[in-house]
Amino acid sequence: MPRKHRVRHRHKWSSCYGSGHLSSAVEQGDRRLQGREFNSRRWLNFWPFGSSRVKQVKPSPRTSQASQAHGFEASSQAKSRLQTCLTCLWPPLASKDQLEHFWIDTCCINKSLHGEHQAAMNSMFRWYQRATKCYAYLADVSVGEQSTAGQSERTWQSSFQASQWFLRGWTLQELLAPRTVEFFSRDCVKFGDKTTLQDVIYAVTGISVDALQGRRLTSFSKQERLAWMERRTTKFDEDKVYALLGIFEVELVIQYGQGWASAMEKLEEAINVQTSVLRDLRITHPKDDKIRIEQDKGGLLAGVCDWIFDCPEFQRWRETAGRQSLWIRGDPGKGKTMLICSIVDELERTERQQCQLCYFFCQATDTRINNAVAVLRGLLYMLVDQQPSLIRHIEKQYHHAGRTLFEDVNSWVVLTKLFSDILQDPQLNSTIFIIDALDECTSQLTDLMHFIASVSAQSPRVKWLYSSRNWPTIEEPLSRAQQMLHLQLELNAGTIANGVRVFSKQKVHQLATEKGYSESLQQEVLQYFQANAGGTFLWVALVCRSLYAIPQRHVRRRLREFPQGLDALYARMMVQIEESDDSEYCKAVLATVALALRPLTLSELGFIADLPEEISCSVGDIADIARRSGYFLTMRSDIWEDKVVSFVHQSAKDYITEQARNAIFPAGMSKGHARVAQKCIQRMCEPGGLQKDICRVRKPGIQRTDFDLAEIAKMMPARVTYTSSFWAEHFIASREIMRDADYVHQFLQQYFLYWFEALSWMGQAASMVLHTVRLQSQVDKGDRGQQVSTFLNDAYRFVLMNSYVADLAPLQLYFSALIFTPLNSIIRTAFLQQRTDMFSMLPNVIQHWSASLQTLTGHTDSVRSVAFSADGTRLASASDYGTVRLWDAATGAPLQTFEGHTDEVRSVAFSADGTRLASASYDRTVRLWNAATGAPLQTLEGHTRHVKFSVEGTLLTRLASASYDRTVRLWDAATGAPLQTLEGHTRHVKFSAEGTLLLTDFGQFAVSEDEFYYDREHVLLKPVLHTLQLQYEWIQHNGNDILWLPHDFRGTCSAVYGKTLVIGQSSGAVSLFQARDECHIVS
């Protein structure tokens, strides 16, 4: 019996001849089998070449149901081929391949239905891709009966190579998309498939054999994929472009008549957007991290981790369809990371055709990959790299924000929203997400755990696997995930011990072979390992490293000196360091590597470690000291053949910073950070350090994106890469106080602009905002810090104004930035000599910084309402265009756009905890949104006319609104349930600070959990004022007019947070004003 047809997506096949029965069956199957596995879907595509003409005639009984529905009938030639398919091929193939439905693609999509046509053109590749098989019936190829088999093969092979099928544009995707394509002659004889005929097809088409075998098309270059279409033709010029949509996984608006060049330009633009998003999203490539980790650990040894594949928990996770999570946990040194590497290899080998594999390796010693944002960026990068069509979820916000979307202080909020949207995309392919070493995620681990638990059941096409230590802080949030399986290594001690024995045997054999051990010595070492390893792979690896340095004649005596257990082994290493001649040097190197915010090269280690000058200048001496540091450290070569130094394992760093802290950091870790910060500044100020045009590009208009990151890294001086990126972080961690004329102040005065340029080349321009703010927090608050405080205030304004152009073209810091910065800016004055006088006349610029901190652009109509979140970190603005936008209040970066209102939005407000956002519109609704993800929560209705409510209305647990229909309505903000309606005309409404009173234009009313009333005898009309506020054309302070605003600066709405006033303007701009600390008004 044919296998039951299963399908998860409903497609309209009615535009293709012979598809009527399938169309109805698919529709019914979708309803009947809803919720079945994604991978169980089976349908078949058939392409009988040559039948492309249709004419509209009276329906015939021989045409399909779909053809009759559209009034179409094929030509006699097409009908003949259709009859051949239905009578000669369908019955035997359906039985042999267990297929219930047969899609015959003999003509064209019905272009008269624009929506169907648009969707079909952009989805066609996926339809082919998800077919069980594709049968290509070639009417111009005949096998026939020949005298000999050889002669017969030569006959059909030559006609196959000359077939028009290989010259048609649309057949390119039909060849590449399905997993299996079988070729039939006009005699209904199968003569091969795209695998058995791959060499012939390659000779005819030039398409790589790897592509024919199913390798991801995204792994081929753009030019290579475009070349596949060069020799093909289409009836319409634009179709040569549209037939490539699936090849590049992009979607376009289908528009005939524009010509090939215009359509190709749009395709190129879509491809370039994909490339830009991938480039800016990439913080690392987890595949490279996996290779590096395996090399650091001596490579994967055959058979050591194979036990996991027979483990019941792993098998259940692997074999159960959808929404399964597996948590592998164990103590340090149990081999969790190598286990994950083995699992990745196994899944890539066995599941490559069935699903996408995305993984990430956390490492606490590397700031690139030790935080929750990096984890999501790494997983998203691997996912959209494999399925580029998902980039459409990112494009809209990326268009406004660029790479800052993934890097600023609100990147976590943005990434979680994007991730959730993608997981709910019905086009998402089956995917497995793997995260190794969750315990080494040192920033926002709890947020990451809660997020994973919340999304783990969102998509039936997604599975999760994680590894970590046995930490309660990880177990508690993960326990909330649905269908979670646990695999605790300590509960599989026998299996782990057996794996350690296999590992020990292989490592000892390698050691004995390279060192020339006798058979008896090899057995003695192996027996000691098996007796003392304690089921810990790391113990075996560390002792083996030590034995490599011991002459064979001393091995038996020294072997007994290695104690059982990791901590005991680390303690022995520390004793050896203390007793060595290089003790102080080793401890200086260990301290520097422990404090470093990413792994250091030997050159960088020499720059910033507290070592004598003659040693710090010698890479060889630094390498020797690192090797003598008790095997706590490991070294590997980077892409520039410089050695990178890092801890051999996270447990080694934990020992140095905890048990050995007093020996390594006698003055404390804060003092260690202060020393590193001072060394960084010292190195940046030396010849070959920070300077103008540090990459020597010499062209002021050249853009950063003209170079890839590897090119920039090569152009950047070695002493600048780490020092410029992290000196400020080390200084802040030192908790030292900055004072006038100290070494930090002097550095900023002389090198600030060069530092800004260096970070901009490395794509870190946005971080300058945070650096200046955080440095300001460590300035002496008394008289001894006034000058440096003033400098940092000016630097903050300079960075806000110029961070965009610095990220775009870093050398514009010496051109545009110095030209348009206010004349009395400290930064402009300090670095004006660096400006190149290219113009004899320049526009006048203002003398001083204006009160406006920043102008936020993005709205396309008047801004009617603005509001700060309670913590002042985010800013919401609403416009007449019907949109609400969310901004980073510190950097001005756009975070979210909320869409859903059908008319002008007149008011917007945050809840007190900042988790929700409310907006009121002239469409007579109030909408509640999730402020983090942008998801709509509630739509509140009930007013008879336009709705408007005050900004402060949601700063409590309830939401009040004021309207022009002379009512005040009170809703429960959590549920959206209406509570009370108060008759009385008012345009302003506000909760009192304690939440017990509701203030309106005509009175003050008590609010409680179950009541809403007012007493006219106790009405209080005294307004509640902000210290700073907007009143028509004046900015007021404590109710007094202090600043008159010219017309261009007058606002339609305003909001206040502390001493900052934000004004929304009719132009769509948003301006910020900030009062000084000493703002006093004299009466």
Dump pLDDT digits (tens) for 569-616.
Answer: 999 999 989 999 999 999 999 999 999 998 999 989 988 998 898 898
pLDDT above 90 coverage of the chain, percent: 31
Complete DSSP assignment for 786-820: HHHHHHHHHHHHHHHHHHHHHHH-GGGGGTHHHHH
Q: In terms of pLDDT, which residue wins out, 528 or 865?
A: 528
Mention every residue, 6+ apart, whose C-beta is less than 8 A from residue 1014: 982, 1003, 1004, 1005, 1006
pLDDT at 1014 > cutoff 50: no
Q: What is the mean pLDDT of residues 70-83?
A: 54
Q: What's phi and psi for 883, nearest 5 deg? A: -110, 155
- Partners of 512 in the β-ladder: none
Residue 808 — pLDDT band, cuts 50, 70, 90? confident
Q: In terms of pLDDT, which residue wins out, 33 or 735?
A: 735
pLDDT at 484 > cutoff 80: yes
User: Residue 1019 has what pLDDT?
Assistant: 33
What whole-number distance in Å separates Cα of residue 72 and Cα of residue 79? Answer: 12
User: Residue 613 has what pLDDT?
Assistant: 86
Q: What is the mean pLDDT of residues 1001-1011?
A: 51
Residue 151 — pLDDT band, cuts 50, 70, 90? very low
Q: What is the mean pLDDT of residues 72-85?
A: 58
Q: Which ranges in 809-895 belong to alpha helices (H)?
A: 816-820, 826-831
pLDDT at 286 > cutoff 60: yes
- Dmax over CA atoms of the chain, in Å, equals 115
pLDDT at 132 > cutoff 80: no
What whole-number distance in Å separates Cα of residue 209 and Cα of residue 199? Answer: 7
**CB burial readout 142-171, b (16+ within 10 A) else e:** ebeeeeeeeeeeeebbebbeebebbebbbb
Q: What is the mean pLDDT of residues 182-204?
A: 88
From residue 335, alpha-carbon distances to 297, 499, 539 in Å are 10, 9, 10
Q: For 431-481, how does the pLDDT look when each residue is reduced to its tens digit (9 = 90+)?
A: 999 999 999 999 899 899 889 888 887 788 899 999 999 888 888 887 777
pLDDT at 533 > cutoff 60: yes
Complete DSSP assignment for 364-398: TT-TTSSBHHHHHHHHHHHHHHH-GGGGHHHHHHH
User: Residue 358 has what pLDDT?
Assistant: 96
User: Residue 951 has what pLDDT?
Assistant: 40
Collapsing DSSP to helix, strand or coil, 1012 comes out as: strand
Residue 958 — pLDDT band, cuts 50, 70, 90? very low
User: Residue 51 has what pLDDT?
Assistant: 31
What whole-number distance in Å separates Cα of residue 419 and Cα of residue 402? Answer: 17
Q: What is the mean pLDDT of residues 415-441?
A: 92
Q: What is the mean pLDDT of residues 551-571?
A: 90
From residue 773, alpha-carbon distances to 443, 558, 828 in Å are 20, 55, 19
Q: What is the DSSP letter of 662?
A: H
What whole-number distance in Å separates Cα of residue 79 and Cα of residue 187? Answer: 16
**CB burial readout 589-614, b (16+ within 10 A) else e:** bbbbbbbbbbbbbbbbbbbbbbbeee
pLDDT at 4 > cutoff 50: no
Q: What is the mean pLDDT of residues 758-764?
A: 93
User: Residue 33 has what pLDDT?
Assistant: 28
pLDDT at 836 > cutoff 90: no
Q: What is the mean pLDDT of residues 814-819?
A: 86
User: Residue 404 has what pLDDT?
Assistant: 78
What whole-number distance in Å separates Cα of residue 1062 and Cα of residue 1070? Answer: 7
* Domains assigned to the chain: 20-215 (no CATH), 217-273 (no CATH), 282-482 (3.40.50.300), 495-564 (no CATH), 688-849 (no CATH), 853-1018 (2.130.10.10)
From residue 772, alpha-carbon distances to 162, 732, 738, 767 in Å are 68, 11, 13, 9
* pTM score above 0.85: no
pLDDT at 489 > cutoff 50: yes
User: Residue 967 has what pLDDT?
Assistant: 65
828 token code pair = 């402009």
Residue 37 — pLDDT band, cuts 50, 70, 90? very low
pLDDT above 70 coverage of the chain, percent: 76
Mean per-residue pLDDT over the chain, rounded: 78
Residue 974 — pLDDT band, cuts 50, 70, 90? low
Mention every residue, 6+ apart, whose C-beta is less than 8 A from residue 208: 202, 215, 220, 224
Q: For 1022-1062, how does the pLDDT look when each residue is reduced to its tens digit (9 = 90+)?
A: 333 456 777 766 677 766 655 556 555 667 778 787 778 88
Q: In terms of pLDDT, which residue wins out, 432 or 136?
A: 432
Q: For 763-786, how does the pLDDT look when each residue is reduced to its tens digit (9 = 90+)?
A: 888 889 889 999 999 999 888 999
pLDDT at 644 > cutoff 80: yes
Mention every residue, 6+ apart, whose C-beta is less than 8 A from residue 1082: none
Residue 545 — pLDDT band, cuts 50, 70, 90? confident
Q: What is the mean pLDDT of residues 715-732?
A: 94
User: Residue 72 has what pLDDT?
Assistant: 41
Residue 737 — pLDDT band, cuts 50, 70, 90? very high
Residue 422 — pLDDT band, cuts 50, 70, 90? very high
How many residues in the chain? 1083
User: Residue 434 has what pLDDT?
Assistant: 96
Q: What is the mean pLDDT of residues 414-433?
A: 91
